[in-house]
């Protein structure tokens, strides 16, 4: 199955580079290009891509507002937003994740990392940059978005013990295959637990499940290495 990708970035040269790269792959194609957030929303509703590569900082309607609009639209529930940014450790990235983005990458990633990231997000997995995840969790993700009700431990009361266990492993960055090996079950069983937890908690995808896991205290932010600061 071909992964359909929409590019949203105000830099024409960057869009052209991404288009050439993506269209060179047999399993994906670019279906549209947007120069700002408003156009990204319009073209997404028209073309229904599997993944939107979204720049955060664009003139006019920015990527954060566009991400909010796309992720709140029930008709676009199958479309995933992958944030591309030069500001990985940034409150805007955290806000995009809270609002439904499936992950983010820095614009300086290699071609292979970018293409693999598109495939990961298209498959329904979350993609969080390892270098910035700890900082995001510590500084931003443990707090709710402005005006939102903070997640509380009681929110997890409807989950089974196994669903909580699997959710904790997801929050720590483990894949379905890795969790399955730890629990001696099949990856399909893990996937079922993940989807049930997402459904019960109203999470759009695994990235939102991670946010809820930290906000409710199910898992704690990992300690910083000695001397490290963010």
Give this prediction's pTM: 0.71
Q: To 10 degrees, the CA torsion angle through 191, 112, 43, 98?
A: 50
pLDDT value at residue 53? 96
For position 80, what pLDDT does the model report?
Answer: 93
Is 133 strand, coil or helix? helix
- Spans in the chain with pLDDT lower than 50: 130-131, 228-230
pLDDT given for residue 209 in this prediction:
83
In this predicted structure, what is the pLDDT of residue 230?
A: 40
pLDDT of 22 reads: 95
- 80-85 β-sheet, strand order: 28-34, 3-8, 51-55, 80-85, 103-106
Give me the pLDDT at residue 228, please: 45
Are 104 and 91 in contact by the 8 Å Cβ rule? The answer is no
């Amino acid at each position: 199955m071909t992964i359909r990708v929409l590019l949203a970035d105000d830099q024409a040269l960057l869009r052209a580079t991404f288009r050439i790269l993506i269209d060179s792959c047999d399993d994906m194609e670019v279906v549209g290009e947007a120069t700002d957030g408003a156009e990204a929303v319009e073209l997404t509703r028209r073309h229904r891509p599997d993944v939107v590569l979204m720049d955060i900082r664009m003139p006019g309607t920015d990527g954060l507002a566009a991400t909010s609009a796309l992720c709140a639209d029930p008709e676009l529930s199958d479309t995933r937003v992958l944030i591309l940014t030069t500001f990985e450790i940034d409150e805007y990235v955290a806000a995009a994740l809270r609002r439904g983005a499936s992950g983010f990458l820095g614009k300086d990633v290699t071609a292979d990392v970018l293409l693999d990231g598109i495939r990961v997000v298209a498959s329904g997995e979350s993609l969080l940059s390892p270098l910035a995840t700890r900082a995001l969790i510590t500084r931003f993700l443990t707090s709710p978005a402005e005006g939102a009700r903070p997640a509380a431990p009681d929110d997890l009361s409807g989950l089974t013990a196994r669903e909580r266990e699997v959710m904790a492993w997801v929050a720590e960055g483990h894949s379905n295959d890795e969790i399955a090996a730890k629990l001696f079950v099949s990856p399909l069983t893990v996937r079922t637990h993940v989807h049930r937890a997402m459904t019960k908690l109203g999470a759009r995808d695994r990235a939102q499940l991670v946010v809820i896991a930290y906000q409710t205290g199910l898992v704690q932010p990992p300690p910083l290495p000695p001397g490290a600061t963010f």
